[in-house]
Amino acid sequence: MDFTVIIPARYAATRLPGKPLADLGGRPLLQWVHERALASGAARVAVATDDARIEAAARAFGAEVVMTSPEHRSGTDRIADAARQLGLPDDALVVNVQGDEPLMPPPLIRQVAGNLAAHPAADMATLSQRILTLSDLASPHVVKVVCDREGYALYFSRALIPQPRDGMPEAEHLADAVPGWQRHIGIYAYRVGFLRAFVHWPPAAIESTEMLEQLRALWNGASIHVAEACAPAPVGVDTPDDLARLRERVAQGG
């Protein structure tokens, strides 16, 4: 199975400007992401950016870089642009690994590509894992996903779905709860032909409400297959506090 990893990286993050170049254990955060993508067995790994500072840093650690338009509204738009510039055919598999996921396990990157390859009826593939705490279940920052019996996504939401009619289970029994709530892991695999179509669709109303881009695919009748992750997925870096915690973890050898 051949697949390409494209890492979208922008400098002007609202909560943490310059995030891809932030120092983590003596290396740019983006370099950590790149190393994990290489370790996944991808046939090709490229960084997609519109910023000369990120381009220079990425080339310095040996990454292939694709310069994309500064007008792109999302990482998915940037990936579609990069796939076009790389000359990838419509049936090629592309994995979107976010540039703020420095501890993303390489097996998960390979798993999401394999999930799409194994489901020819799917337009996209992604991963999930069990939610084990009540705080995660209640948090709007933890995106939940509900699937059908074949593993295809029915809906993604920041709200609690499905909502228990008769009240929540006790915290110590959450791991055994039915239906077994699932947290969405924000890693995606696409076929390039679908990716080209996706970025020409206007944002859907439900997408704008939840601020979840994958809902645009469901709104337009596309299918997303969801597999349970084969390894725990770490939380990405969104804020200075996230970065501080990660630096402490790396310093301790975690």
pLDDT at residue 171, as a whole number: 67
Number of compact structural domains in the chain:
1
pLDDT at residue 233, as a whole number: 87
**124-130 and 182-191 beta bridge pairing:** antiparallel
Q: If you compute the radius of gyration of the chain from its CA atoms, what whole number of angstroms results?
A: 18
Q: With bands split at pLDDT 50, 70 and 90, how would you rate the model's confidence at 254?
A: low
Domain assignment present for 249: no
Virtual CA dihedral for 241, 108, 63, 98, nearest 10 degrees?
A: -40
The full DSSP string for 41-66 is T-SEEEEEES-HHHHHHHHHTT-EEE
The CA distance from 4 to 24, in Å, is 25
The CA distance from 132 to 145, in Å, is 14
Return the CATH number at 135.
3.90.550.10
pLDDT tens digit sequence for 145-192: 999 999 999 999 999 999 888 777 776 667 676 668 999 999 999 999
Domain assignment present for 39: yes
Which residue range(s) make up the domain with 91?
A: 3-239
Chain-centre distance of CA 181, in angstroms? 19
Domain assignment present for 251: no
Domain assignment present for 116: yes
What's the N-to-C CA distance of the chain in angstroms?
31
pLDDT tens digit sequence for 199-244: 999 999 999 999 999 999 999 999 999 999 999 988 788 888 888 8
The CA distance from 209 to 156, in Å, is 12
Domain assignment present for 14: yes
Domain assignment present for 32: yes
Domain assignment present for 229: yes
**4-8 and 44-49 beta bridge pairing:** parallel
Domain assignment present for 244: no
The CA distance from 166 to 186, in Å, is 30
By the 8 A CB rule, do 198 and 222 touch? Answer: yes
pTM, two decimals, is 0.93
Residue in this structure with the two tokens 């009240």, named with its chain if needed: 167
pLDDT at residue 114, as a whole number: 98
Phi and psi dihedrals of 34, rounded to 5? -60, -45
